[in-house]
Amino acid sequence: MFYRIAGSVFLGVFFVTLSLFSIDLDYNSALEIAYQNNADILQLEKDFRIAKFELDYGFANMFYPSIKASGSYTYQGSSDNGSIRTVKQEDGIVELTNYTYSDSYSLSVSLNKTLFDGFQNYNTFRTKKVNYTLSERKLYDKKKEIKLNLLSSFFKVLLLQSNIETLKLSMELSSNQILEALQKFNLRQATQIDVNKAKLSYQQSYLKLLEAQHNYEKEKLNLSSLLGLTNGEDINIKNKFYDIESCIKLGEGDLNPEKIINSSLSNDITYFTYECNIENERLNGKTLEWSRFPSISAGINYAYSYERDRNTLDLKSWQGSWSIGLNASLPLDALLPNSSIDSQISVSKENLKKYLLQKEAYEKSLQNTVRSYFLDFKYNKELLENQKMNLQIAGENFNLAKKQKELGRIKEIDFITSEIAYLQAKNDYESAYYDYYMVLAKIERMIE
């Protein structure tokens, strides 16, 4: 009786979860919330927009000229204590008080364009285009990462919920098993060994239940973190555990090792980052090489001005002037041996070698990762098939035990043992089912 009461109290108290709010979510809704609340995605979206602005600037800088407009106004006056001066006019000489002033206006517009700069602007534009593509891929890869992590946590919660329910029932059965063993022991129909076995089964169920509840609470916290929920909301998952299969598009028939490896190389963000670093360094090297050549620029300037002549009192008419210039400059120091340009080119070449080595090493590592996933898939597939068979056998034994019990051919303790074995087989099958589809999800992420 002690174990029955203890089990009831434990199950009634231990599994109370305190929460302020309850949220009903299916997997697709949870995924949208995770995207919206993830700080990394928000930052990567900003980086992507910045990269787009920089790309537009690089394009404009490559084709558009520099246009500047300027204007000025000058006023100057003076007085010589009322002295008289003479001013010649067409109709004679005019005497004026020596108070003079002059003013002038001017406007100018200039247009300048670099015609050749060693392809610096062009290579800068190409670099910004590479960085733009990289920022776009980083954003997409982060979403893939969140999708995989959410899938893992979302259905892990459902798996642990199912395990807890199974273990709760198993614990109750173990408590009944102890009572049955004690009754048989008092009637001298069982030994102390049988009683101890029943107690041990109860303790094992208790420990498994304790571990499952601990893992369940931790996984709920992890799921809340992935969703960006911080107010202690209790998440009510609307999906069923076996819905995990419908969330994964990749099937067993799509698992071609060579195709998966090639596709993973095309889609892996780290590998793509190495490729971008290599391309940018090559562009940098080309820019440095071409910087030895002269840069050529052209400009057009147009100015318009007038000035009041203080000596004649006449206004000079508006006067316009324009000019066209062509400018060429050559960095002579770049032509000297062991110049700074030579040093920069050497550094660029070494960086390029470094990136190529890193890319090659990572490519091998990525291929091994794919092969490792295939080994995991093979193992989990065989494990799932065996656990499915074990569940079928345990289910058949349990059904037979029911019939035998109805006919009075087996003892209660044997029936309880059969039911506990069936529940354990159910737990093992669901765990294998989860692991099998999570391996598929990891492979799918590599080729998306």
Answer whether residue 100 shows pLDDT above 60: no
Torsion over CA of 355, 356, 362 and 367, rounded to 10 degrees? Answer: 160
Instruction: Output the DSSP codes for 160-211.
Output: HHHHHHHHHHHHHHHHHHHHHHHHHHHTTSS-HHHHHHHHHHHHHHHHHHHH
- Cα separation, 441 vs 270, in Å, equals 19
Answer whether residue 175 shows pLDDT above 70: yes
Q: pLDDT digits over 216-251, tens only? A: 999 999 999 999 987 666 788 999 999 999 999 988
pLDDT of residue 77: 59
CB 41 within 8 A of CB 146: yes
Of 9-13, 59-63, 79-83, 283-287, give the range with the top mean pLDDT. Answer: 283-287
Q: pLDDT digits over 103-159, tens only? A: 677 888 888 888 777 788 889 999 999 999 999 999 999 999 999 999 999 999 999
Q: What is the mean pLDDT of residues 395-412?
A: 90
CB 442 within 8 A of CB 373: yes
Torsion over CA of 46, 48, 53 and 59, rounded to 10 degrees? Answer: 170
Q: What is the mean pLDDT of residues 29-34?
A: 94
Q: What is the mean pLDDT of residues 17-24?
A: 61
pLDDT of residue 21: 61
Q: pLDDT digits over 184-211, tens only? A: 888 888 889 988 988 998 898 899 899 9
CA angle 134, 139, 143 (to 5 degrees): 140
Instruction: Output the DSSP codes for 1-26.
Output: -HHHHHHHHHHHHHT----SEEEEE-
Of 227-236, 273-282, 411-420, give the range with the top mean pLDDT. Answer: 273-282
Answer whether residue 19 shows pLDDT above 80: no
| Residue linked to tokens 């294998």 | 432
Q: What is the mean pLDDT of residues 58-68?
A: 85
Answer whether residue 288 shows pLDDT above 50: yes
Answer whether residue 387 shows pLDDT above 90: yes
Q: What is the mean pLDDT of residues 47-57?
A: 95
Place 95 in a pLDDT band, splitting at 50, 70 and 90. Answer: low
All domains of the chain in start order, with CATH: 2-67+117-295+332-447 (1.20.1600.10)
Answer whether residue 10 shows pLDDT above 80: no
| Residue linked to tokens 């992507």 | 48
What is the Rg, in whole angstroms, of the alpha carbon atoms belonging to the chain? 42
More confident residue, 59 or 413: 59
Q: State the chain's mean pLDDT as an integer.
A: 84
**Half-sphere CA count of 251, side-chain side, radius 13 A:** 2
Q: pLDDT digits over 306-347, tens only? A: 766 555 555 555 677 778 888 888 777 777 787 888 888 899
Answer whether residue 291 shows pLDDT above 50: yes
Question: pTM (2 decimals)?
Answer: 0.78
Answer whether residue 4 shows pLDDT above 90: no
- The proportion of the chain whose per-residue pLDDT surpasses 90, expressed as a percent, equals 47
Q: Which two tokens stand for residue 134?
A: 């990289």
CB 124 within 8 A of CB 30: no
